[in-house]
Amino acid sequence: MRQSCGSQALLENQGASTTDEIGSDAAGLRALNMVSAVPRMDWKKEEIAAIFNAPLLELIFAAAKVHRECHDSTAVQQCTLLSIKTGGCSEDCSYCPQSARYDTGVKAEKLLDPEAVYAAAQCAKNAGSTRFCMGAAWREARDNNQFDQVLDIVRKVKSLDMEVCVTLGMLGPDEARRLKEAGVTAYNHNLDTGEEFYDKIITTRTYQDRLDTINNVRDAGMSVCCGGIVGLGETPADRVDLLHTLATMREHPESVPVNALVRVEGTPLADQPQVEIWEMLRMIATARIVMPRARVRLSAGRLQMSHAEQALCFLAGASSIFTGEKLLTTGNPGYDEDREMFQILGLKTLSTPKESTCC
Ligand code: SF4
C-alpha cells in the first residue's frame, strides 16, 4: 500500500490527475495507492480531488493507515474551548450566532474575569484536557487595554502547564509577537471554506486577510490551528479547494479543526440541511492523508453524532476533540459522555483525568 511520496509524475502517468477522470472510482483508488505518510506541500488540486472522491471505505482505510504511521491511534487529545468574550461581533460570518448582525439571542458580554478563566482551565485540565483554547468575538486583536487583559489571562493559564490556544480574529505582527511572548502555543484562525466560495459566507474580510493573519502567527513562532466548516452550502469542489490551500501552505497547520455546521436560529444558514456523517468522514480522511502529521480535530457538530459515527471519525484519522458542554456558544457532549465513549472505543486521552472533576 505504501509507496514513496511526491510521486506526481507517476500519478500523472497513471492518469489520476486528468480532469475527465477526477471523481471516478478508478482515479481515486490509484491516488490512494500512492498515499504516503511523508508530508508534502506540493499537492495538486486534482490529486486531492481524486483522494477526496475515492470510494469511501477505501479512503477511510488509507487514512487509517497513515494515521497509524504518524500517530498513536489509541490516543485522542482533549481540548477545551471557552468563550472569554462572547457576542456583539462586528463581522458577518453567516454561520455565527455571535455576529451582532443576526438576532440569535446571544448577548454581547464583557471580557471574562481572569480568575474565572483560570478556574475553567483548571477544571478542564482535571478532566483530561491538555489544551485550553480561548475565543473572543472580535474582528481583530488591537493594541488596547482588553488585549493586555488577554495577555494576563494567557500567562495565568500557561502556569497550569497546558497548551494555550487563542482565537481573537485578525492579528498583526506586533500582537502576534506579544501573544507568543505571553506563552501562547497556538493561534486558531480558520479559513472556513474554499477561496471561491468564501465571499458567499463572509463579506467583512477577505480570504487574503485570513492568510495574512496565519502568516503573522507563523512568523511570531506560534503554531497554526486552521481548518474549516462542512455544511455551509459549499460544493465538494469547495471542500477540496480548502484542503488544497491548507495542504500547500509553507508548513502544514499543526492543527486542523473539521467542523460540521451547527445551525443556529437567526443566522442566515439556519435552514441548511444537516451535515451527513459521510461528508465529515470524507473531509477528515482526506485531511489526514494530505496533512499526515497534523492533529485533525473533530470539532463542532459532535452533539448531533452517535458514538458509532464518532468512532468512524477516529478511524478516518481524527486525533482530537473539544470537550466540555459548550463550544463557544453552542452545545457539545459533556465530559462524562465523552469518558464513556472513550471507554467503549478503547481510546485514551493524552493526560489522565482526575477521579473527580469540578465540571
Ligand atoms: S466567527 Fe468570529 S469573526 Fe465571525 S462573527 Fe463569529 S465571532 Fe465574529
Return the best residue to mutate from 93, 190, 198 for the ligand 1 pocket (most ligand atoms within 8 A of CB): 93
Return the best residue to mutate from 86, 89, 329 for the ligand 1 pocket (most ligand atoms within 8 A of CB): 89
Q: Is 226 a catalytic residue?
A: no
Return the best residue to mutate from 81, 85, 91 for the ligand 1 pocket (most ligand atoms within 8 A of CB): 91
Q: Is 123 a catalytic residue?
A: no
φ, ψ dihedrals at 79, nearest 5°: -120, 150
Task: Give yes or no for a contact between 249 and 223, defined as CB atoms under 8 angstroms apart.
Answer: no
- Cell numbers at residue 237, please? 469542489
Ligand 1 contacts CB of residue 234 (under 6 A):
no
Task: Give yes or no for a contact between 229 and 95, defined as CB atoms under 8 angstroms apart.
Answer: yes
Long-range CB contact pairs, 199-202, < 8 A, 24+: 200/94, 200/232, 200/233, 201/93, 201/94, 201/95, 201/232, 202/91, 202/92, 202/93, 202/94
Reading the chain (359 residues) residue by residue, the pLDDT tens digits are 333 333 333 333 333 444 446 568 899 999 999 898 899 999 999 999 999 999 999 999 999 999 999 999 999 998 999 999 999 999 999 999 999 999 999 999 999 999 999 999 999 898 888 899 999 999 999 989 999 999 999 999 999 999 999 999 999 999 999 999 999 999 999 999 999 999 999 999 999 999 999 999 999 999 999 999 999 999 999 999 999 999 999 999 999 999 999 999 999 999 999 999 999 999 999 999 999 999 999 999 898 999 999 999 999 999 999 887 777 778 888 888 899 999 999 998 876 555 444 44
pTM of the model: 0.90
Q: Which atom of ligand 1 lies closest to the CA of 91?
A: 5
Output the CA 138–ligand 1 centroid distance in Å: 7
Q: Is 192 left (phi over 0), alpha (psi -120 to 50) or beta?
A: left
Q: What are the residue ranges of CATH 3.20.20.70 in the chain?
A: 75-349
Ligand 1 contacts CB of residue 164 (under 6 A):
no
- Spot the catalytic one: 70, 79, 96, 226: 96
> For position 330, what pLDDT does the model report?
81
φ, ψ dihedrals at 260, nearest 5°: -95, 135
CATH code for the structural domain at 75-349: 3.20.20.70
Q: In 3D, which of 335, 341, 344, 345 has the Cα closest to residue 128?
A: 335
Query: Cα separation of 117 and 34, whole Å?
Result: 46
Q: Is 163 helix (H, G, I), strand (E, B) or coil?
A: strand
Q: Is 93 a catalytic residue?
A: yes
CA 290 to chain CA centroid, Å, is: 15
> For position 17, what pLDDT does the model report?
44
* Torsion of the alpha carbons at 68, 72, 78 and 81, rounded to the nearest 10: -50
DSSP state string for 203-242: -SS-HHHHHHHHHHHHHHTPEEE--EEE-SS--HHHHHHH
Ligand 1 contacts CB of residue 99 (under 6 A):
yes
**Strands 131-136 and 326-327, sheet pairing:** unpaired
> For position 7, what pLDDT does the model report?
33
Binning the chain into helix, strand and coil, the percentages to the nearest 5 are 40, 15, 45
Ligand 1 contacts CB of residue 169 (under 6 A):
yes
Ligand 1 contacts CB of residue 268 (under 6 A):
no
**Which residues, listed in sequence order, are joined to residue 170 by a DSSP beta bridge?**
140
Ligand 1 contacts CB of residue 319 (under 6 A):
no
